Amino acid sequence: MQSCSVERAVVLFGEKWKFLILRDLMDGKKRFSELKRSIGSISQKVLTQNLRSLESNGLLERTVYPVVPPKVEYELTPLGYSLKPVIDALRAWGEKYAEV
């Protein structure tokens, strides 16, 4: 286990995709296809891997509905929603940086 909290966070969010997934789920539940369309250049395999990782870390939950065709939705957990200030700070910083 990492001793530094910054290191722990960097290890958890080592890929840009995770922040983009979290950003998109801040607005509420989304299906896989909605996330893929919103993020754009992410492959299906990488999106699946990142969703599984975020789920195993307790940041989102996956709900499978017993219908045909299968319906799966992803939603942030309270722990995932607790990252809203971090996402907002990154957004604000990115907007300021774009002005430079």
Per residue in 43-92, pLDDT (tens digit) is 999 999 999 999 999 999 999 999 998 899 999 999 999 999 988 988 88
Block residue for tokens 């995709």: 17
Q: What is the pLDDT of residue 1?
A: 54
**Whether pLDDT at 2 is above 60:** no
- Pick left, alpha or beta for residue 5 (phi over 0 → left; psi -120 to 50 → alpha; otherwise beta): alpha
pLDDT > 90 fraction of the chain, expressed in percent and rounded = 65
pLDDT at 4 over 90: no
Helix, strand, coil % over all residues of the chain, rounded to 5: 60, 15, 25
Residue 78: what pLDDT?
98
Nearest to 39 by CA among 58, 24, 61: 24
Lowest-confidence region among 5-9, 16-20, 68-72, 95-99: 5-9
